[in-house]
A and B are shown apart, each in its own frame.
Chain A
Amino acid sequence: MDTFLIGLMAATLRVATPLLMGTLGELFAERAGILNLGIEGTMFFGAFVGFVVGGVTGSLWLGVLAAVLAGMLSGLLMAFLSVRLGVNQHVSGLGITLLLTGLSLFGFRLFYGEPRIPPAIEPFSRLSPFGQTPVLGPLFDQYALTYIAFGLVPVVWWLLYRTSFGLQIRAVGENPEAADAAGVNVYVTRYLALCIAGGLMGAGGAFLSLAQLGAFTYGIIAGRGWVCIALVIFGNWDPVKVLWGALLFGGVFDLQLRLQIIGLQLPYETFLALPYLVTILALAVAGRNAAYPAALLKPYRRE
Chain B
Amino acid sequence: MLRLEIERAPAPIWMRSLIPVIAVLVTFVLTSVLVVWAGANPLAAYRHFLISPLSSKVSALEVLVKSTPLLLTGAAVAFAFSAGYWNIGAEGQLYAGAIAAAWLGVVLEGLPPVIAIPIMLAGGFVAGALWALPSALLKVKLAVDEVVTTLLLNSVVLFVVSALLNGPWRDPISGWPQSPEIAAGAAFPKLIPRSRLHLGFLVALLVIGLLWFILSRTALGLRMRAVGLGQEAARFVGVSVERTMLTAALVSGGIAGLAGVGEVAGIHFHLIEGISPGYGYTGIIIATLGGLHAAGVGLAALFIGLIDTGAQTVSRALGVPVYLGDVVQAALLLVTLGMFILQNYRIKVISD
Q: What string of 1s and 0s marks CB contacts (under 8 Å) between B136-154 and chain A? A: 0010001111011101111
Known contacts being A87-B337, A87-B340, is A99 close to B330, with CB within 8 Å? yes
Closest to B340 in A: A87
Query: Are A276 and B88 in contact, with the CB atoms below 8 A?
Result: no
Q: Which of B103-111, B225-233, B262-270, B321-329 contacts A (4 or more CB under 8 A)?
A: B321-329
Taking the complex as formed, is A146 at the interface, i.e. its CB lies under 8 A from any CB of chain B? Answer: no
CB–CB A105/B337 < 8 A: no
Alpha-carbon distance A101/B277, docked complex (angstroms): 12
Q: Is B162 an interface residue (CB 8 A)?
A: yes
Chain B, interface residues (CB within 8 Å), range:
35 or more
Asked if B152 and A99 sit within 8 Å, CB to CB, the answer is no
**Contact in complex: A109, B143 (CB < 8 Å):** no
How many whole Å from B169's CB to the nearest CB in chain A? 11
B176 within 8 A of A: no
CA distance A230 to B138 in the complex (A): 14
Q: Is the CB of A280 within 8 A of B334?
A: no
Q: List B residues 84-141 near A (Cβ within 8 Å).
A: 86, 88, 134, 138
Q: How far is the CA of A98 from the CA of B330 in the complex (A)?
A: 6
Between B34, B148, B154, B288, the greatest number of chain A beta carbons within 10 A of the residue's beta carbon is seen for B148
Instruction: Check if B345 is an interface residue, CB within 8 A of chain A.
Output: no
Interfacial chain A residues near B284, Cβ < 8 Å = 91, 94
Quick check: A233 and B145 within 8 Å, CB to CB? Answer: yes
A277→B155 CA distance, assembly (Å): 10
Q: Is the CB of A283 within 8 A of B149?
A: yes
B58 at the interface (CB under 8 A from A): no
Contact with A273, one of B151, B160, B327 (Cβ below 8 angstroms): B160
Which residues of chain A (77-93) have a CB below 8 Å from chain B?
77, 81, 85-88, 90-92
The answer to whether B152 touches A230 (Cβ under 8 A) is yes
Provide the residues of chain A in CB contact with B281, threshold 8 Å: 94, 98
**Which single member of A87, A109, A226 contacts B152 (CB below 8 Å)?**
A226
Evaluate contact between B152 and A95: CB separation under 8 angstroms. Answer: no
In the docked arrangement, what's the CA distance between A186 and B71, Å?
A: 40
Interface string of B145-173 (1 = CB under 8 A from A): 10111011111100110110011000000
Which of A99, A272, A279, A288 has the most C-beta atoms of chain B within 10 angstroms of its own C-beta? Answer: A99
B142 touches A272 (CB 8 A): no
| A residues contacting the other copy or chain, number (CB 8 A) | 45
Determine if A227 is an interface residue (Cβ-Cβ < 8 Å): yes
A110 to B323, CA, bound (A): 10
B193 at the interface (CB under 8 A from A): no
Mark contacts of A272-303 with chain B using CB atoms, 8 A cut-off: 1 yes-contact digit, 0 otherwise: 11001101100110111010000000000000
Report whether B143 and A287 are in contact in the complex, using a CB–CB cutoff of 8 Å.
Answer: yes
User: A37: which B residues are within 8 A, CB to CB?
Assistant: 88, 147
Contact for B285 among A98, A227, A233, A283, CB less than 8 A: A98
A273 to B158, CA, bound (A): 9
Q: Which residues of B lie under 8 Å from residue A90 when comparing CB positions?
A: 86, 88, 147
Of A88, A106, A229, A273, which one neighbours B159 at CB under 8 angstroms? Answer: A273
Q: Are A223 and B152 in contact (CB under 8 A)?
A: yes
- Looking across the interface, which residue of chain A has its beta carbon closest to that of B165? A269
Return the chain A residue nearest B337 by Cβ. A87
Alpha-carbon separation in the docked complex, A267 to B164 (Å) = 9
Nearest residue (CB) in A for B278 is: A98
Q: Mark B241-284, 1 if CB is under 8 A from A, else 0.
A: 00000000000000000000000000000000000001001001
Is A283 touching B144 in the complex (CB atoms < 8 A)? yes
- A95:B334 contact, CB within 8 angstroms: yes
Contact assessment for B323 and A109 in the assembled complex, using a CB-CB cutoff below 8 Å: yes
Q: Are B151 and A106 in contact (CB under 8 A)?
A: no
Most chain B CB neighbours (cut-off 10 Å) among A35, A98, A229 = A98
Given contacts A99-B331, A105-B323, A233-B148, contact A223 B285 (CB under 8 A): no
Is B14 in the interface zone, CB < 8 Å from A?
no
**Chain B residues with Cβ under 8 A from A230's Cβ?**
148, 152
**Chain B residues within an 8 Å CB radius of A233:** 145, 148
Shortest Cβ distance from residue B185 to the other chain A in the assembled complex, whole angstroms: 31
**In the complex, chain A residues whose CB is within 8 Å of the CB of B337:** 81, 85, 87-88, 91-92, 95
* Residue in B142, B149, B338 whose beta carbon sits within 8 Å of that of A288 in the complex: B142
CB neighbors of B among A210-237 (8 A):
222-223, 226-227, 229-230, 233
Distance, CA A232 to CA B167, complexed state (A): 35
Q: Are B338 and A280 in contact (CB under 8 A)?
A: no
Q: Which residues of B contact A152 (CB under 8 A)?
A: none
In the complex, are the beta carbons of B142 and A287 less than 8 A apart?
yes
Minimum Cβ distance to chain A for residue B88 (Å): 7
Q: Mark A222-259, 1 if CB is under 8 A from B, else 0.
A: 11001101100100000000000000000000000000
Cα–Cα, bound, A273→B34 (Å): 36
A270 within 8 A of B: yes
Inter-chain CA distance A279–B145, complex, in Å, is 12
In the A-B complex, list the 4 residue pairs whose CB atoms are closest, starting with the nearest: A102-B326, A99-B330, A269-B163, A109-B321
Would you mind naming 15 contact pairs between A and B with Cβ atoms under 8 Å apart? A85-B341, A91-B333, A94-B284, A95-B334, A98-B281, A223-B154, A229-B148, A230-B152, A233-B148, A267-B166, A272-B159, A279-B152, A283-B144, A290-B143, A290-B144
Given contacts A90-B86, A226-B155, A276-B156, 16 further A-B contacts (CB under 8 A): A35-B147, A85-B337, A87-B337, A91-B288, A94-B284, A99-B327, A102-B323, A110-B321, A269-B162, A270-B163, A273-B155, A279-B152, A280-B134, A280-B149, A283-B138, A283-B149
